[in-house]
Amino acid sequence: MVRKNIEYRLNAFGDSSQIFPIKTELAEPAKGEVQLRMVAMGLSMADVLIRRGFYPDVKNPNVVMGYEGIGVIEALGSDVSETFPALTKGLQVAVMSITGNNTHFRNIDAKDVVPLPNSVSDADIPSVAALMLNYVTAYQMIHRQSLCFDDNTPTKRVLVHSASGGVGMAIVQLLASLNVDVYGTASAKNHQRLRHYGVTPIDYTHDDVASVCQKAGGMDIVFDGIGGSHLNLSNKCLAKKGSLVCYGMTELVKGKPESRLTFVKFLATSVRYLIKTKISSRYSFYSVTNMRSKQPKWFIEDFHHVFKLFKAGELQPDLAPVLPLSQLVKAHSNLEQGITVGKQVLVVETYSHLP
């Protein structure tokens, strides 16, 4: 059966006005594919970087937007039942495919979907949609790298930049049960949210962040999702034997969309720190997509672990007001301008209005 569909496609690299809803027809899933009815999608700075043309894995526009999502299997292509017997019609699954998820329906290789360990209610779907990218990223940086949070070692001082953002808040929540003193940079309006998790907030707009950190004794670990020249600041925050974990490049969205000077400066500093990772184990670059490629079993295990923590009430994604997918352009604009507070999740409207 050919399905009538709406997908949100990027016309050209640039601002959020370059995203357009397009009516399409979706064929039956091919051999080895499953067809998903998309339910909800998390929006992240990675989506903004893709739209702006700064994401290294997306070289050309004309893609369906959507880094991650939650969907329900509607149909199975041939051979799927034999190769993936756990995948059945009606099963809720998570997807992190970098592009392709801002749509009502999609076909995707069966090996690229991760079944939810347990079915979740409609009320919980937005929170679950916030788990895969942010919380798996945070969990793997904390537990899958050479960082030590042993209770038998002295309490570590940890700095989380952009601590009120999606990944930042995930790191903060996952660190809450560990032997650490957490500091977090954020604007003043978000300080109370951070204090709720025991974080010492630092106002990056007014405070000398490096001085605050050094007065505290220097940071044993710094998580930096901004990248570029911001890594120099993070380096100044470290204790003598501290470690710097670089995992993002949101500095790129500060420049104009058409500017390549921002990218050149960003690249030059990033290369310098990449060289540091070859010389010293104190410096590391983390990418959830690279880690998934190298250790696919870890990715599934870690997603299931944070899912179970969520179901047990031990972590709760901090969500912005949920928006319908039809407001994707507005959601992109709000996130890029710093208006969004909490993880932005979009949900797919009912399909009945399509012709």
pLDDT digits 0-9 by tens, 91-139: 999 999 999 999 999 999 999 999 999 999 999 999 999 999 999 999 9
Nearest Cα to Cα of residue 97 among 250, 248, 286, 289: 289
| 169: pLDDT strictly greater than 90 | yes
pLDDT confidence tier of residue 285, bands split at 50, 70 and 90: very high
* CA dist., res. 309 & res. 322, Å (int): 22
pLDDT confidence tier of residue 270, bands split at 50, 70 and 90: confident
Question: Considering the chain, what percentage of its residues have pLDDT values greater than 90?
Answer: 82
| 351: pLDDT strictly greater than 60 | no
Q: In this predicted model, what pLDDT tens digit does every residue of 299-309 receive, in sequence order?
A: 999 999 999 99
**pLDDT, greater one: 148 or 18:** 18
Sign of CA dihedral 98, 101, 107, 110: positive
Q: In this predicted model, what pLDDT tens digit does every residue of 137-165 receive, in sequence order?
A: 999 999 998 787 766 677 899 999 999 99
Sign of CA dihedral 56, 59, 61, 67: negative
- Determine how many CB atoms are found less than 10 A away from the CB of residue 145: 15
Residue 177: the pLDDT is 86
Residue 265: the pLDDT is 80
| 311: pLDDT strictly greater than 70 | yes
| 344: pLDDT strictly greater than 60 | yes
**Contact status, residue 156 vs residue 221, Cβ threshold 8 Å:** yes
Structure tokens at 36: 């998903």
The pTM (predicted TM-score) of the whole model is 0.92
| 21: pLDDT strictly greater than 70 | yes
Q: Which structural domains are found in the chain, ordered by start?
A: 3-130+319-353 (3.90.180.10), 146-287 (3.40.50.720)
Is residue 337 within a helix (H) or strand (E), and if so which, with residue range? none
Contacts of 10 (CB under 8 A, 6+ apart): 18, 19, 50, 51, 61, 62, 63, 64, 65
Q: In this predicted model, what pLDDT tens digit does every residue of 67-84 receive, in sequence order?
A: 999 999 999 999 999 999
Residues 323-336 have a mean pLDDT of: 96
